Amino acid sequence: MKNLLAALKQFEDIEIKASSFDFISIPENVSVDFSDVRSLAGILKSLTFIELKTCNQKRVTIPDFRNFFFAITENEIIASELLGDRHIVVLHNKITGDKLVTTIPEIINRANSKNWQLSVSLGSREV
């Protein structure tokens, strides 16, 4: 992962966090050596970065996934903006097995409500 993120930064001037995606889709005909940053440069454009959002809610409708409630992080939004069509979101209903491939811009455009929040981490108590 470290080399992949380094290659994105070095060769495409794209800086994203590892938390902005869950999986990488690699075309079958592409060979990848994740241990070599230079070799990654040649295949970066062929990779698709996938964020997975799952639910196990009966209220989620098929095939449009209406009533699916989930969060999108700032890091996911930034990755989507920087990677463009190389960043997708897969919505997966664990109950039905249905999946919907979409993008963060499509999700934001479809949202009937948006509640912004701030996630914080309180540091250790100093004595």
Look up residue 42 and give its DSSP letter. Answer: T
Q: Is residue 78 part of a domain?
A: yes
Domain that holds residue 9: 2-110
Dig out the tokens for 79 from the structure. Answer: 């990755």
Which residue in the block uniquely carries the two structure tokens 């997975």? 52
Count of CB atoms situated within 10 Å of the CB of 33: 11
pLDDT above 90 as % of the chain: 70
Quote the number of domains for the chain: 1
pLDDT at position 127, please?
A: 57
Q: Is residue 121 part of a domain?
A: no
Rg of the chain over CA atoms, in angstroms? 17
The pLDDT tens digits of the residues spanning 24-83 come to 999 999 999 999 999 999 999 999 999 999 998 888 888 889 888 888 999 999 999 999
Band of pLDDT at residue 123, cut at 50, 70 and 90 = confident
- Mean pLDDT estimate for the chain: 92
